[in-house]
Structure 1
Amino acid sequence: MKWRGRRRSTNVEDRRGMRVGKAGGIGIGTIILALVAMYFGVDPRLVMDVGSKLGGGQVTEQKVDYQPTPQEQEKVEFIKVVLADTEDVWHQVFQKYGKRYEEPRLVIFSGGVQSACGIARTAMGPFYCPGDHKVYIDLAFYDELKRRFKAPGDLAQAYVIAHEVGHHVQNLLGYTKKVPRGSKGADSASVRLELQADCFAGVWVNHTQKAKKFLESGDLEEALNAASAIGDDKLQRQATGRVRPDGFTHGTSAQRQRWFRQGVTSGDIKTCDTFRASTL
């Protein structure tokens, strides 16, 4: 993936080195739910800030000594370029339909972070918070993506960002409101929301390729591999040895690949309406 030498977004907050917690401690329930999220892709709104519900306490932030490595700094620059690309694409798409695109901010954190949705931990993975219109990511997730999920590659990493920005697009267009809290199951609104975000990520690839010719050999395969690696069925099988469709929140590996590919091929958000699709 060709990304060096291009515009970098200024909508990035670097909050690494901030220790976030609750005065009075974090309950064991928070840790358990965070692990569930890591394995099953649970909606972040359901697992964030559980500590306050289990025992209360004021949120505290403490600056700790944090020395980023040169490799981490390169990842930060990469993220800034990808975010800038999403800004270019979604401004163009929204303008086409007579709408104004509001750029989200992206927060890079380490260990934990406070958002408008509550406290989030690294184990939850990247997420979008509709409450503050921000995307959150711990760089450690990219190591997980490579080692644990066996999904390396630049476009695999960019797909993750584009997917979360896709959730921001959904929020602006009103799709997020269609998903009731706790929605899950193979045909649930939650699954439809996630698959649409995958399709929007594909739309980003389509437009960016036309404008900047940034794809290299094997890039699309990397992104499709990442989409497959975090399918509900695959994660459940790895964690428990069996698949429970009634617990799906993000869609199967095949579905995630299909809808990402749909966006890449069409480049049109109208083809991404998973909420009207008869089959996923």
Structure 2
Amino acid sequence: MRWRGRRESDNVEDKRGQSGRTMSRGGFRLPIGRGRGTGKPSLTFLIIGGVVLWLMGVNPMEILSIMMGGGGSITQQQTQVPRQTQAPSGGRSGASDELSSFVKVVLAETEDVWGAIFKQAGQRYPEPRLVLFSNQVQSACGFASSATGPFYCPGDKKVYIDLGFYRELKTRFEAPGDFAQAYVIAHEVGHHVQNITGVLPEFNRKRRSMSKLEANQMSIRVELQADCFAGVWAHYTGQKGLLEAGDLDEALNAATQIGDDALQRRTQGYVVPESFNHGTSAQRKKWFAVGYDSGKAGRCDTFSVTNP
């Protein structure tokens, strides 16, 4: 990805080196976890109607506000991916400073893309903030350790990431490359888009009356939509001429490596489909490609299809 020399976002809080308490519960995250699941008919109807109106050019904020009754509070549920290494703490190396610059540039690029999409719909895009931390951090979703991986907290509308995760993305999850790293951020920003348009608040409301299996199935649809939104961002990034040879393959490989089935095979040697909550490798790759190929957020309707 051609990122050097481009604008860096000001919406970044650097809390590396600061200490917090242990572990946490919290937002919506990229790697595997327990959590969310399949839409019930009422939610499916809402999403179908919203997508149709979106394609007709109606303001998406008004669509979701009317159909879902506004935002509402979120009861966050955070999950963890097992880690084998400890994120570095204390001092910062030149490599970590360069990586933080990279993250700021990618965040700035998501601001530009989603800002333009929202402006076209007649709305202002409320930009999220991104928090860099090491070892552990406190968010509105509770205390989180590096073991939780990158996550988005709807309560404070912030993306959290320990840059040590990128080392594991490359080595443990076999997903190297700077565009794989960019995909991580774009996915979490996708959750922010879901939050401000009412998808996450509605999911939280529905989840309270669901069984664990139902919640897991809806969670998959939520996560796949965030993957699709990441693909939408990648589409416009490519139009700017920022993609290099192999970048798209890096993102697709990352989506593949962190599928529920791939992660379960890697960590326990077998898969339990009933416990999936982020989507299989094939599903994640498919929906990222849908967003990338179309460049349209309205195509990211993971809720109305029978088999996402």
- The answer for the alignment partner of 1:59 in structure 2 is none
Give per-residue Cα distances to partners, 1:248-280, cap 9 Å, x unaligned: 110000000000000000000010011112221
Which of 167, 175, 188 is 2:217 aligned to? 188
Q: Do residues 266 (structure 1) and 282 (structure 2) align?
A: no
Q: Do residues 198 (structure 1) and 231 (structure 2) align?
A: no
> What's the TM-score once normalised by structure 2's chain length?
0.77
Give per-residue Cα distances to partners, 1:22-52, cap 9 Å, x unaligned: xxxx5xxx59x99xx997323493347xxxx
- The answer for the alignment partner of 1:42 in structure 2 is 34
Q: Give me the whole-angstrom Cα distance separating, in 1, the residues matched to 2:77 and 2:297.
A: 28
Across the two proteins, how many residue pairs are aligned to each other? 253
Give the unaligned 5+ runs of structure 2.
Answer: 36-74, 80-88
Q: Give me the whole-angstrom Cα distance separating, in 2, the residues matched to 1:127 and 1:183.
A: 21
Give per-residue Cα distances to partners, 1:190-248, cap 9 Å, x unaligned: 100000000000000111221x2001111100000000010001111112211111101
- The answer for the alignment partner of 2:109 in structure 1 is 85
Q: Do residues 237 (structure 1) and 229 (structure 2) align?
A: no
Residues 92-241 of structure 1 mapped to structure 2, 5 A cutoff: 92-179=116-203, 180=207, 184=213, 188-210=217-239, 212-241=240-269
Give per-residue Cα distances to partners, 1:89-145, cap 9 Å, x unaligned: 001111111222100000000000000000011011000000000000000000000
Which structure is richer in relative contact order (CA contacts within 8 A, separation 6 or more)?
Answer: 2
Q: Give me the whole-angstrom Cα distance separating, in 1, the residues matched to 2:3 and 2:114.
A: 18
Q: Give me the whole-angstrom Cα distance separating, in 2, the residues matched to 1:172 and 1:187.
A: 22
Superposition RMSD in Å: 2.3
Return the letter of the residue paired with 2:237. T
Structure 1 or 2: more strand by fraction: 1
- The answer for the alignment partner of 2:84 in structure 1 is none
Q: Give me the whole-angstrom Cα distance separating, in 1, the residues matched to 2:30 and 2:197.
A: 28
Contact 2:137/2:143 (CA < 8 Å) preserved in 1?
Answer: yes
Runs of 4+ in 1 over 2 A off after TM superposition: 37-48, 181-187
Return the letter of the residue paired with 1:240. Q
Contact 1:106/1:135 (CA < 8 Å) preserved in 2?
Answer: yes
**Which sits farther off after the overlay, 143-152 or 94-103?**
94-103
Give per-residue Cα distances to partners, 1:140-187, cap 9 Å, x unaligned: 000000010000001000000000000000001111123226855697
Contact 1:149/1:229 (CA < 8 Å) preserved in 2?
Answer: yes
Q: Give me the whole-angstrom Cα distance separating, in 2, the residues matched to 1:234 and 1:156.
A: 16
Contact 2:8/2:101 (CA < 8 Å) preserved in 1?
Answer: yes
Question: Measured at CA, do residues 183 and 274 of structure 1 come closer, stay the same or move farther in structure 2, by a change above 3 Å?
Answer: farther
Contact 2:14/2:131 (CA < 8 Å) preserved in 1?
Answer: yes
